[in-house]
Amino acid sequence: MPRRRYVWGMMRLGPVVILVTAISLAPRPTVAQSRPRITGTWRAQTPEGPREVVVRPDSSASYGEETVRWRIGADSLYLAFGDEWVGYVIAVKGSELTISGGDLEEPMKLKRIGPSTPRPDGIPLPDAPPMNRKPEAT
């Protein structure tokens, strides 16, 4: 009788063990997967004509003569201007990036046109402001 109870107990535990094993082996999103990939060269059509923005893995971004630092959250992008962070809401779908909020009057759409280019040697990476100066994204 004790052997029969043991076998019966193991048979009832079998599905639970399989379920726990399946859950533990299932792929989970990592922090990197939950944040959109924004590095690359992006182009926006503006009233003044096309403008390009280069977002690099070293946390620098350049547009025109300006180079700034960036940080990213799940749906937020923060750019360091001087000693402050400006927060934006972003959405990436394929090769399109939409930025809104912050100091923008209306959403801006950009299209990824290629990989990022290295920051030129003569362009320093600006210091990042303290994170306690980071606003909530709007």
Map out the domains of the chain with their CATH numbers. Answer: 33-133 (2.40.128)
Q: Residue 20: its pLDDT value, please?
A: 41
Q: Does the pLDDT at position 135 exceed 90? A: no
DSSP string, 85-120: EEEEEEEEETTEEEEESTT-SS-EEEEEEE---PPP
Tokens 């300006």 found at: 66
Q: Does the pLDDT at position 8 exceed 70? A: no
Beta strands in the chain (DSSP E): 40-46, 49-55, 60-63, 66-72, 76-81, 84-93, 96-100, 108-114
Write out pLDDT tens, residues 28-69. Answer: 444 445 678 999 999 999 889 999 999 999 999 999 889 999
Q: Residue 137: its pLDDT value, please?
A: 45
Q: Residue 22: its pLDDT value, please?
A: 42
Average pLDDT score over residue span 74-103: 92
- 69 close to 55: Cβ distance less than 8 angstroms: no
- 71 close to 59: Cβ distance less than 8 angstroms: yes
Q: Residue 11: its pLDDT value, please?
A: 52
